[in-house]
Structure 1
Amino acid sequence: MPVMRVTSPAVLARRVTEGGLSTDTVYEFVHADDPHTVIAELDTTAPIGPVSGKAVWVFDVNPHPWAQSVAEAVWESLDWSEVPDDAEEPYDRDCVEKGWSCRILVRVGW
């Protein structure tokens, strides 16, 4: 399982949304100075639809002081075509205490 060390909520959000990640992997995101605390995970192991070429990746933010900032930054960077209809916005949720989870529709290029 790859561990991605990040230095801020903005850096974490960019790593999730700006591409360059592989399928069939679970990524753990940790603070560069605290590698034992997992702030968030991105699961890219979902199967790819044979017709659509899309997969549903799951992004989970654990309860953490950065959680609200990370969740909102990821949410705001998604295109509507990447968000399932039943997705929960992070704004009315106390992500710092409860965490947050989001499914992301990703077109996978070959």
Structure 2
Amino acid sequence: MSLIAEISEAAFATEVLQAGQPVLVDFHAQWCGPCKAMAPALEDVAREYEGLARIVKVDIDAQPGLAQTYSIRGVPTLLLVAGGEVKERYTGGLGRGKLSEILERHLEPGQ
């Protein structure tokens, strides 16, 4: 079972912007090869940081309003959201090490 939830526009505010922990949002598409290639690394990181941070997915074809709101021009695009604000943004596939590094920068000290 995946720890990564697919988020709708209706749930985005609650699940991402109002979350009490950092959230890495993966804007992806079903037809995107690099998105599929990055999926195992995202799953690994989601398990590693369970309880400390969340990873969620947004399908840009199913949620075009969110893609427009966050100016998503290519996929995969990852946003690190903390405290209701986008803190970091990356476009293109990232490896497990880089994903961990991004989350580590936004964890509370001592976690």
TM-score (normalizing by structure 1): 0.31
Question: Whose radius of gyration is greater, 1 or 2?
Answer: 1
Flag the structure with higher helix content. 2
Flag the structure with higher strand content. 1
**Greater relative contact order structure (CA < 8 Å, 6+ sep):** 2
